[in-house]
Amino acid sequence: MTFNEYQKESKKTVIYSEKKIAHPLSYLTLGLVGEAGEAAEKVKKLMRDHDDVVDEDRKEGLIQEMGDVLWYMAQIATELGVDLEAVPEANLKKIFSRKQRGVIQGEGDKR
């Protein structure tokens, strides 16, 4: 499945548009950070409670949270009128440019 196929299919599960959410980007961004927080919480508990051991159940839990993050990313892309595949393509272009220029480490979006 491509990112664009995922974007198209995942849109079929959207219910926020039925509820007349006034600011869908805000709503979706809050959902995104919430799901990313849930993924981070699972990793924290791996460190605290399981000596960083990732068994199959914990791996599946992380995969589920990553899927939720991806769902929100897909809906944000849809709201922006962007194909989801454009997101990783643009990201790789940016990261490889930083690597070539020797600025992959550091701070700031424009480095």
Domains of the chain, first to last: 3-85 (1.10.287)
Residue 109's pLDDT band (cuts 50, 70, 90): confident
> Whole-prediction pTM value?
0.89
Task: Calculate mean pLDDT across residues 52-66.
Answer: 96
Taken as a whole, the chain contains a residue count of: 111
Q: Tokens in use for 24? A: 């869908």
| Mean pLDDT in residue range 12-36 | 93
CA distances from 85 to 19, 73, 89, 95, 104 (A): 28, 11, 6, 16, 22
Residue 49 has pLDDT above 90, yes or no: yes
